[in-house]
Structure 1
Amino acid sequence: MLSGLTIRGRCLLAAGAAAGICALVLDERDLLRVSAFVIALPLLALLLAGRVRFGIAARRHLDPPRIPVGSTADAALHLTGGGLPVEGLVVEDEVPHALGDRARFRLNALRGNGIRLDYSVTPALRGVHHIGPLRTWIGDPFGLATYERELAGRSRLVATPNVHELSGLPPGSGMGNGENGTAKMRAGHGNDDAMVREYRHGDDIRRVHWKSTARRDDLMVRVEEKPWQGGVTVLLDRRSAAHRGTGAGSSVEWAISAVASICLHLSKQGTQIRLLTEDGWPLTRDVEVLGDGQEDALLDSLAAVRPSPQRDLSCSRDPGEGHELIAVLGETTTAAVAELTRLRPPESRSLAVLLDVRAWNGEGSGRDVVRSAAQLRAAGWAVTVAEGPQARVPEVWQRLCGQVPEVTR
C-alpha cells in the first residue's frame, strides 16, 4: 500500500509519526493534532492517486499498421478518465529506437470526456516493430504519492522492404508455363495422386481422402493448396557472411528489396511464386497470383527476415525443382556456384543477380564476383551484377531482361 509514496511522502509520514511519539511523551495535545494531520496528508494523497489510477483507460491506433521503410505512420492515443482532475499526469509510449524518439506527454488535467494524443513514427529499419506498452505516472499536486500504471499493451507495426516498380520479363522466359510444368501436371492417375496430409483437429470432415485413409490406416485429408505446377522460384541469399554493410544501407537489405520487387512484379503477370532461402527452405507458403491479402503475407515474411548464420550456399536438391529460377546472391564462392549449377537441369531457365558486396564496404569491385558471373554464364545462366549500394533495382532488372546492355567489367 505504502509503495506508492514518494520520498517526500515517506519523509512527511515519518515526521508525523515522530511528532506523534513526542506528543505522547510530552503530553502535548496540540502537537498530537499536528502529528495526526501530517500523517493523514500523505495517506490521503495516496488514496487519491490510487483512485485516479483505476479511473484511467487508454487505447492506441496505428494508421497504417504496415508501411514501407522510410514512410510515416500516425499513432493516436485515446485516453479517458473517471472525471477526477489530475495534475502533472505524465504519459509515455515506448517506441523502439528504429522508429524514432520516445513519445512522452505531460498533461495538466484529464477530464471524463477524454483526450487524444497524436505522434508519428518513421521506421528506419525493415522489420516487425512493437510500440508500447503505454505507461503513466499518476501523482497528487503535492508530490507525496505516485503510481506507475500500464494503460495499453503493444501494437504491431510492420516495416516492409521498399518495393520498386519493374517492367519487362527476361527473354525466352516462359514464367513457369513450359514443358516441365505441363509434364508434371500430367503425371499420375487421377485421384490417386491427390495431395494429402494427416488429419488435424479442426479440419473439415468433408476433406477426408478415404482411399489414402484406408491405405495408410490413418485419417488423411486432401490439401486444398494447389501443387507446385511450373511456377517461378525466387531464391534469396540472406547469409550474413555473404553480405557487407550495416543497417538499411547493407547489401542484404538491397537483396531483400530486390526480391520483394521481383516477386510482386511477377505476380502481376499471373505467375505462381515460390520464395526460398539459401538453405532451400520456403520463406513463406506457396502463393499463386498474389492477391486477396497474399501480397501482404509475402511482404510480412520479408519484413521478418533475419540474416542467416549459415556460411555456405548449399542445397540438397535443385531449388527450382526443374522450373525457372531467379536467384539473388551475395558473395558466392566457386564451389558454391559449382554446386548450384550441378543441381540445375541444363534445359531449365536460370537467372541470377550477383551482388558485388565489397562495394558496400567501399572496397571497390572484387574479382570473385566476376569469376562467379563467368562461371554461371558458362553453365547457361543469365547473369547481371549489382555494382554496389548505388545500383538501382529497376536498372538491374532491365539488364537481366536484356533491355539494357551489361556493364563492362
Structure 2
Amino acid sequence: MGTLTARGRLFVLAGLVVAGGGMTVGLRSLTSVGALLVVLPLAALLLATRRPELQITRSVLPRRVPVDQPSDVTLELRNVGERRTPVLRAEEELAYALGDRPRMVLPRLRPHEATGLTYRVRSHVRGRHRLGPLTVRVADPFGLAERSAVHPGAAELTVLPRIEPLVGGPSSRAGAGGEATLSRRISLVGEEDPSVREYRVGDDLRRIHWPSTARTGEMMVRQDEEPGHRRALVVIDDRAGAHAGAGSGGSFEWAVSATASVVHRLFAEQHEVHLATSTGPSGAAAPMETIDHALDVLADLQPVSSSLPTGLVGAVGDFHASGSGLVVAVLGPLPDEACDQLGGRGGSCVAMVLDRAGYRGRGGETDEATARTLARLGAAGWRTVRVRPGVRVADAWAQVVPSGVTT
C-alpha cells in the first residue's frame, strides 16, 4: 500500500489551508490553487499503488568465508511485467554482523529486461548470516508518495572460524619412514606410548619395545600407525560459565579458533578426526568427514548454560576405550572430579586451558580454578598450557606439541 511522503503531507496541509482561506475571503482562484495542492499528492498516491513486477535472483560468492574476509553478493533483477518500471530505490536487509544495509538506485527496466547489482559484505562474527529480503520503493517524480514492497527470498553466508597455521606435529610422510606421528611426538614427553601394546604370539621379536617391557614387566611390542588410520579426538569446552570476555576478544572465540586450527592441522596430516563438546551427550564424539564439515559445525557453535562437562569425560573415556590416539582439549577450568576422571589416560593428551581471570580484565591475577585444573591434569599425565589474552593459538600449540621430535 502506498503512503504519502513528508513532502506529500505538507502539500495536503498547505492545500487545505489555502483552499480554506480562499473560501473564507471568497477568492475562487485561491480555492482552486488549494484544491490543486491537495489533488496532486492524492493522484501520486494512486499511481504509487502499482507494484513493479520484479523477479530477483541472489548469489553469494564465496558462500563460505573465514572471519574478516569479504564476500560479493550479486542481485539480478528482471522486469517480468508488461510495463516499463519507474526508477526504483532498493534496500537489502542484512544480519547485524554484516554491517549497514546497502541502498541502491535501480534504473528503469523495459519489459523482460534485467539488471545486475553487486555489493560486498564482511563479518568479524562467525556463524550463519542471512542476506535479504530486498525492499523496493517506488515514488512519483515529485516525491509526494511512495510504495514499499518486500520481495521474498534470501541467501545465507557462512562465516567460518579463524584458522592459524600450526607448526610441529607430523609430516605427511609419517608412518612411512618419515617423522613420528603426532600422538607419538606427544607421548615421547608424556608418560606412556599408545603405539606400544602387549606381545602376541606371532609378533616379530625385532619389534619388542624394551623400555616398556622393563617398566611393565610384560613383553611389549611397538605397533605402527598407518597414514590415514591415525585417530584424534578434539574437544572444545562450550560451557558458558567456563569462559569470560565478550565478542572476538573473549575466551570462547579463542577456543573456537584454536579448535578449528587444530582440526585443520590434523586433517592435513590424514588423521581420522572426532569432534566433541564438553556438554554434549556422554561419549558423543562425532566423526568429521571433511575439514569443511568440521568448520561448519564450529561456525554454528554457541556457549551452553551448563556447569557439568559430562561430554568431555565421556568422549575421552570412550575414545581411549576404542583404541589409541591423540586427544586435544581446549578448556576452561574444570571441576576437580572431572579432572580426576580424566587421570590415567596416558601421554597422548594435551589441554589448552583458558585463564578466566585474564579475560575478565584482571591480567595480573591467577584464576584459582584454572590453576587447579592445570595442576590436576598435569599430574594425570596431560601436557597442558595456560592461555591468557593475547596468546596466539600457534604459540600455545607449540608449547604442548613440541616440534623437532623424532622416534
1:103: how far off? 0.7
Find the residue that maps to 1:54 and give its secondary structure. coil
| Alignment correspondent of 2:296 | 300
Q: Distance in 1 between matches of 2:283 and 2:121?
A: 28
Q: Distance in 2 between matches of 1:255 and 1:74?
A: 29
CA contact under 8 A between 1:356 and 1:365: conserved in structure 2? no
Q: Distance in 2 between matches of 1:317 and 1:357?
A: 21
| Alignment correspondent of 2:214 | none
Q: Distance in 2 between matches of 1:236 and 1:350?
A: 14
CA contact under 8 A between 1:238 and 1:278: conserved in structure 2? yes
CA contact under 8 A between 2:243 and 2:252: conserved in structure 1? yes
- The 5-angstrom pairing of residues 325-404 of structure 1 reads 325-332=327-334, 336-343=335-342, 345-347=344-346, 349-360=348-359, 361-366=361-366, 368=368, 369-386=370-387, 388-403=388-403
1:268: how far off? 2.4
| Alignment correspondent of 2:206 | none
Cα deviation code 1:134-193 (max 9, x no counterpart)? 10111111334321111342221111101122231254569x98589xxxxxxxxxxxxx
- The 5-angstrom pairing of residues 207-246 of structure 1 reads 231-246=231-246
CA contact under 8 A between 1:315 and 1:340: conserved in structure 2? no
* Larger CA deviation: 29-38 vs 348-357: 29-38
Q: Distance in 2 between matches of 1:402 and 1:162?
A: 23
1:306: how far off? 1.0
| Alignment correspondent of 1:63 | 61
CA contact under 8 A between 1:5 and 1:145: conserved in structure 2? yes
The answer as to 2:307 corresponding to 1:311 is: yes
Structure 1 unmatched ranges of 5 or more: 21-28, 181-228
Find the residue that maps to 2:314 and give its secondary structure. coil
* Larger CA deviation: 310-319 vs 130-139: 310-319
Q: What is the TM-score when the length of structure 1 is the normalising length? A: 0.70
Distance 1:17 1:139, change over 3 A: same
| Alignment correspondent of 1:215 | none
Distance 1:56 1:49, change over 3 A: farther
Q: Distance in 1 between matches of 2:194 and 2:312?
A: 25
Aligned AA for 1:137? R
Distance 1:98 1:11, change over 3 A: closer
| Alignment correspondent of 2:72 | 74
Q: Distance in 2 between matches of 1:313 and 1:243?
A: 13
Find the residue that maps to 1:231 and give its secondary structure. strand
| Alignment correspondent of 1:84 | 84
- The 5-angstrom pairing of residues 255-294 of structure 1 reads 255-281=255-281, 286-287=286-287, 290-291=289-290
Distance 1:275 1:328, change over 3 A: same
Distance 1:232 1:241, change over 3 A: same
* Larger CA deviation: 308-317 vs 276-285: 276-285
Q: Distance in 2 between matches of 1:282 and 1:42?
A: 68
1:47: how far off? 4.8
Find the residue that maps to 1:259 and give its secondary structure. helix
The answer as to 2:143 corresponding to 1:147 is: no
* Larger CA deviation: 148-157 vs 365-374: 365-374
Cα deviation code 1:10-68 (max 9, x no counterpart)? 78789999999xxxxxxxx99999999888755653454343x2323322221111111
Distance 1:337 1:314, change over 3 A: farther
Q: Distance in 1 between matches of 2:284 and 2:341?
A: 26
Cα deviation code 1:308-343 (max 9, x no counterpart)? 1113434595322142432110133xxx24324325
Tell me the matched-pair count: 344
Q: Distance in 1 between matches of 2:328 and 2:297?
A: 18
| Alignment correspondent of 1:253 | 253
Q: Distance in 2 between matches of 1:352 and 1:285?
A: 17
CA contact under 8 A between 1:258 and 1:393: conserved in structure 2? yes
Q: Distance in 2 between matches of 1:55 and 1:232?
A: 55
- The 5-angstrom pairing of residues 184-195 of structure 1 reads none
Q: What is the percent sequence identity of the aligned residues? A: 32
Structure 2 unmatched ranges of 5 or more: 20-27, 170-181, 188-192, 198-228
Distance 1:7 1:172, change over 3 A: closer
| Alignment correspondent of 2:48 | 49
Distance 1:136 1:74, change over 3 A: same
1:362: how far off? 4.3
1:78: how far off? 2.0
* Larger CA deviation: 275-284 vs 388-397: 275-284
CA contact under 8 A between 1:353 and 1:384: conserved in structure 2? yes
Find the residue that maps to 1:134 and give its secondary structure. strand
Q: Distance in 2 between matches of 1:76 and 1:232?
A: 40
Q: Distance in 2 between matches of 1:354 and 1:10?
A: 63
Distance 1:316 1:397, change over 3 A: closer
Find the residue that maps to 2:315 and give its secondary structure. coil
Q: Distance in 1 between matches of 2:366 and 2:381?
A: 22
Distance 1:16 1:377, change over 3 A: closer
CA contact under 8 A between 1:235 and 1:278: conserved in structure 2? yes
CA contact under 8 A between 2:185 and 2:402: conserved in structure 1? no
Find the residue that maps to 1:384 and give its secondary structure. strand
Aligned AA for 1:95? L
Q: Distance in 1 between matches of 2:293 and 2:282?
A: 13
| Alignment correspondent of 1:221 | none
1:111: how far off? 2.0
Find the residue that maps to 1:241 and give its secondary structure. helix
Cα deviation code 1:93-138 (max 9, x no counterpart)? 122332122211234x322333322221110111111122210111
| Alignment correspondent of 1:193 | none
Q: Distance in 1 between matches of 2:44 and 2:285?
A: 57
CA contact under 8 A between 2:139 and 2:147: conserved in structure 1? yes
